[in-house]
Amino acid sequence: MKMPDFSLTYPQFTPWSAFCGGSLIAASALLFLVVAGKRVGISGLISAGLLSSLRLQPLDPLATSFLSAFLVAALAAPLVFNPPPPPLLLPPTAYVLSGLLVGFGTRLGNGCTSGHGVCGLSRLSKRGAVAVITFMSVGVAIASFLGAHPHPFFRVAPPTPPASSDALDLPIPPAFWTPSVLLLAVFLLLHRLGQKTSFHPCLHLAAFLSGALFALGLALSGMSQSLKVLDFLFLRFPGWDPSLVVVLGAAVGLLTPFSLYILSHQAVAYGDPSVKIYTPGKGPLATSQSEKVDWRLLVGEAIFGAGWGITGICPGPALVLLAQGHRKVALLFWPMYVGGYLLEEALERVLTRRKEDAGKKE
């Protein structure tokens, strides 16, 4: 059977790798849902598995298992698949502002493309659908505007010869970066083993496999290539790349029937031999999320979408690029992401305290 040739209409379109990558993402999310009873929200896992240490709080055991495997798989992805193209040459200011907006927005809106998009849509969540429409619309608007009207703060005007790129555009040498990533992964695992809590091997093995599958899915699908994502967000013909539609469609389409089945059997999952779910807890599966659509969701996802539209990078792909040693992502995007995330937390605490003080005065 001859495969259709999309290259004439959509020169950057890679439907088969996009579908396979989306399938791996669906498998990762399903494994985490079935075994751990939780959704895969990368921004939330990063917060629980890494940022909690900045708050002087214990790291979440499942998150550390997931992230340790994610980092190792992302590091090995270029060896498993074809090496990705060189990173898109964007000015440092683009990564700085994008990281700040993505961090602040994902914290305010409580999710990103994985939590709201893949996991939210697959359980027919109204909140997830509103979030996806919001950040997708803003991301398309920002990327299309910057693509049509490039500003030196956010875009390098083409054509840009390789000699004009600065040192930050070159990846960190593998001999230096590989041990660093492996040490971080080992630290996350050792941190888990050092905790004085019950240890369920099946649970953590599932989290480990889920993290590896998710990273490989992002790498194979092309979502970790900022240029490919921006080619989707920048609406223009010819030149538009619909690969991201295939990624999301495959992930959501494959995950939806399983998610709905599991959710419909929550009440009888415990003690029912017909439902093969391993969960070490006593309560229902932790899959029911608030369906409240409020200003925090709308504003947060709009801010996240703006940051996403600047660089084409969201938390999951940013973690892949970090593991692969991309300097601007490691040195500019991630510090600003953490700063934006913690800034929103601090503002939320201040507003909550003021509201409590106002209630006491009344």
Q: What's the pLDDT at 246? A: 96
Residue 353 has a pLDDT of: 85
Q: Give domain status of residue 7, yes or no.
A: no
pLDDT digit string, tens, across residues 342-353:
999 999 988 888
Query: Does residue 159 sit within a domain?
Result: no
Peptide bond into 159 cis (omega under 30): yes
Q: From residue 3, how far is each of 19, 81, 179, 221, 288 by CA, in Å? A: 14, 21, 41, 18, 41
| Regions in the chain scoring below 70 on pLDDT | 1-11, 53-56, 58, 83-88, 156-200, 265-290, 359-362
Distance, in Å, from the CA atom of 113 to the CA atom of 110, rounded to the nearest integer, reads 11
Q: Could you tell me if residue 182 is inside a domain? A: yes
In a domain, 33, yes or no: yes
How far is Cα 40 from Cα 117, in angstroms, rounded to an integer? 10
Residue 51 inside a domain? The answer is yes
In a domain, 210, yes or no: yes
How many domains are there within the chain?
1
Provide the pLDDT for residue 24: 96
Q: Is residue 297 a part of any domain in this protein? A: yes
In whole angstroms, give the CA distance from residue 230 to residue 144. 9
Q: Is residue 93 part of a domain?
A: yes
Range of the domain at 237: 15-153+170-361
